[in-house]
Structure 1
């Protein structure tokens, strides 16, 4: 056993210390911290290989079958099950292709966007989340083609996600129900909205605020709630005052909540 001989400065008494008792820096914690990343990497490659082998017809590139960031996100959503991630990813990539998500632009959603029924707020909330606002009183189902509403919805989700700060992964949804009436009720579109988030943008919604919901909205909510599954727990009914005080500063508050 190696020994070190030293001396107390005040007493000059010799002190013998065993090196084996000295604290030793180990790289064990570093190896352990790397294990989850290595495991995730292997699963990403497994999904990628499976998609290439079984679904080679799917597109590649950003949001395609070889997009490793997208693969990892769906693995997390499916609790790192390769089979489940492949199944859900296949549907999502196919849907993006059929829907023409990559072709959506400000120009081809301009007409419906000008109604003001939905928009991405210019500022982040106090938790640094991009904010997608829906103004329910401006949505009249018979006034626009439902397909136009769906395209606007998806375009704005993409726009909100593009504003995510580094390290952030989720957005805040605000459904402003002030002035909502039966003429604004649209179960089909509301179901489409949550289906899009559940199947194609999983775990991208952090929270959904239903602001100042009138009594007439309650029966609609009771019909929709069972369809939302786990997303129903993300919904918070609150007042406009709560939005002002808890989610924004005076400088970042959406214009419609300054009243």
Structure 2
């Protein structure tokens, strides 16, 4: 969705992720990918096969520098405050002049009507050859339009030039030409005085006691009512949330006031043409896409998190349903924009101290290659819309399960991205994806499929139940101790080890010295292909503790995620 609207070169990050959610940033196809990427792929493949761990570690920490700015006016530096005030004045003037509408198209050129007019004229006026000899009075009218300085001798010369064309006039006796010329000379002299005096003689002055005639009513320009414009439910001016909206456009244009105003104008016009308000009332269907793009939880700073899962397009039927022709791609784009608009209005807060941007997570596992024409077309179209019309809506953009070829591609397009945009990007390979997410999002907020503990319809745990993270060193064992004392209560826990390849077991140890240990789960070896997490419960019959043991016999460190809760008998 999202994006971010960097200088026009990016925004892939504007919810900008979007469509394919911006497949991604993939996206800025300002350079052809295929030719350059062949050589890049060979080098990248050798390097990533030799040192995959180094590439992933570097990718995760390379772009964690971005810090979201405050929208509280008091926190702005003086030049930013001045730019905000200047933009408000320009917006107010533009609203008063109704400049946030697309200008009407220019009228069609008049030259197109000339052929028709000529044809009509030809039909209306018969040829001169069939006319009777020229009428003297008609000839005498032509000289009357000439300036008075011309002499009577010049007039016949001009008339003679006009009379040469038709052959039928050759038969006219020469004797008839002289009377016509004489008549023309006489008329010229008679009309010379009025022609020379263009203006009519001034009227006589009115009597002193006459009342002046009423003055003609002057044309009064119609009074225009200032246009009321809102973006994402927030008026451009006059609301406490308006500054947040204006600051988004200013930051997207490096606080260049006129550029920000033009961007606002373009966005307003695009929203009208795209029919955003009408789109919000529609149901476009496409339930299959709910697994492709979805919202889940928040990050550690309270930003809503949007997940984009391209691997779902491996389903050929879904791929054809979404990308096979222009009409389907257009509908998918509408669906993605609608999803983004609803997320913005329902989950973001444009108050000065509110959270007004999202975190975009893009999963590239099993994703279709960007060389597919349909993907490129949809991605390119989505990127342009997002970067131009959804500025600064992405706080962070995390790419997970990134294949080696995409890292090579990113290095190729990196010079074309602004530093602000690059500072929002995080890339992580398959073995580091969960760690990258946990850096910004708590494990209880991350879906199970991406390494976290969040599940739909979980009656025992929710996103409000915190998770404990523990790292187990290679060739070592770690035991989690959960004390319990209330008899009759129920202890429930869930646990997962990222990447498993460990042995896990659980037991209850009573506090009484003469009591017996109860085996809850026999030690079992879990492989990466096993279920992502285990959930157990144990009813407490006497005070004691539950011990959960993880034995990591591998040569790599492992991360344990677990959480527990006790339900009392009265619950």
TM over 0.5: yes
1:139-158 paired onto structure 2 within 5 Å: 139=313, 141-144=319-322, 145-158=328-341
In structure 1, list runs of 5 or more residues that go unmatched.
1-29
Tell me the secondary structure at the aligned position of residue 230 of structure 2: coil
Using a 3 Å threshold, how does the CA distance of structure 1 residues 219 and 227 change in structure 2: closer, same or farther? same
Structure-2 separation of matches of 1:45 and 1:63: 18
Does the aligned pair in 2 maintain the 1:197–1:203 contact within 8 Å? Answer: no
| Matching of residue 124 in structure 1 with residue 298 in structure 2 | yes
Structure with larger RCO (C-alpha < 8 A, sep 6+): 2
Does the aligned pair in 1 maintain the 2:356–2:393 contact within 8 Å? Answer: yes
Q: Which protein has the bigger helix share? A: 1
Structure-2 separation of matches of 1:256 and 1:107: 31
Partner of 1:161: 344
Structure-1 separation of matches of 2:448 and 2:247: 37
Structure-2 separation of matches of 1:63 and 1:93: 8
| Matching of residue 44 in structure 1 with residue 88 in structure 2 | yes
Q: Which deviates more, 168-177 or 184-193? A: 184-193
CA drift at 1:141: 4.7
Q: Which deviates more, 78-87 or 33-42? A: 33-42
Does the aligned pair in 1 maintain the 2:249–2:263 contact within 8 Å? Answer: yes
Structure-2 separation of matches of 1:225 and 1:143: 32
| Matching of residue 246 in structure 1 with residue 439 in structure 2 | yes
Deviating above 4 A after TM superposition, structure 1's stretches of 4 or more consecutive aligned residues are: 32-39, 218-230
Using a 3 Å threshold, how does the CA distance of structure 1 residues 73 and 146 change in structure 2: closer, same or farther? same
Structure-1 separation of matches of 2:77 and 2:308: 42
Structure-2 separation of matches of 1:210 and 1:232: 12
Structure-2 separation of matches of 1:202 and 1:192: 16
Structure-2 separation of matches of 1:246 and 1:60: 42
Does the aligned pair in 1 maintain the 2:100–2:265 contact within 8 Å? Answer: no
| Matching of residue 180 in structure 1 with residue 367 in structure 2 | yes
Partner of 2:23: none
CA drift at 1:43: 2.9
1:87-106 paired onto structure 2 within 5 Å: 87-105=262-280
1:185-220 residue CA offsets vs partner (Å, 9 max, x unmatched) = 522233334323321111211221111112354565
Partner of 2:425: 235
Structure-2 separation of matches of 1:98 and 1:209: 32
Tell me the secondary structure at the aligned position of residue 202 of structure 1: coil
Tell me the secondary structure at the aligned position of residue 110 of structure 1: coil
Structure-2 separation of matches of 1:61 and 1:114: 32
Structure-2 separation of matches of 1:129 and 1:164: 8
Structure-2 separation of matches of 1:224 and 1:86: 29
Using a 3 Å threshold, how does the CA distance of structure 1 residues 141 and 228 change in structure 2: closer, same or farther? farther
Structure-1 separation of matches of 2:284 and 2:298: 23
Partner of 1:19: none
Aligned with 1:55 (options 63, 79, 99): 99
Aligned residues: CA RMSD:
3.5
Does the aligned pair in 2 maintain the 1:194–1:228 contact within 8 Å? Answer: no
Aligned residues: 228
1:5-54 residue CA offsets vs partner (Å, 9 max, x unmatched) = xxxxxxxxxxxxxxxxxxxxxxxxx9x99996576334312223134426
Using a 3 Å threshold, how does the CA distance of structure 1 residues 181 and 193 change in structure 2: closer, same or farther? same
1:112-150 residue CA offsets vs partner (Å, 9 max, x unmatched) = 5545111122x1111211112110112365331111221
Does the aligned pair in 1 maintain the 2:291–2:309 contact within 8 Å? Answer: yes
Specify the structure having the higher radius of gyration (Cα).
2
Does the aligned pair in 1 maintain the 2:267–2:388 contact within 8 Å? Answer: yes
Does the aligned pair in 1 maintain the 2:295–2:304 contact within 8 Å? Answer: yes
1:141-200 residue CA offsets vs partner (Å, 9 max, x unmatched) = 533111122122222322332312552232111111112233895222333343233211
Structure-1 separation of matches of 2:281 and 2:408: 35
| Matching of residue 83 in structure 1 with residue 258 in structure 2 | yes
Tell me the secondary structure at the aligned position of residue 427 of structure 2: strand
In structure 2, list runs of 5 or more residues that go unmatched.
1-73, 103-226, 323-327, 453-531, 533-571
Structure-2 separation of matches of 1:226 and 1:94: 31
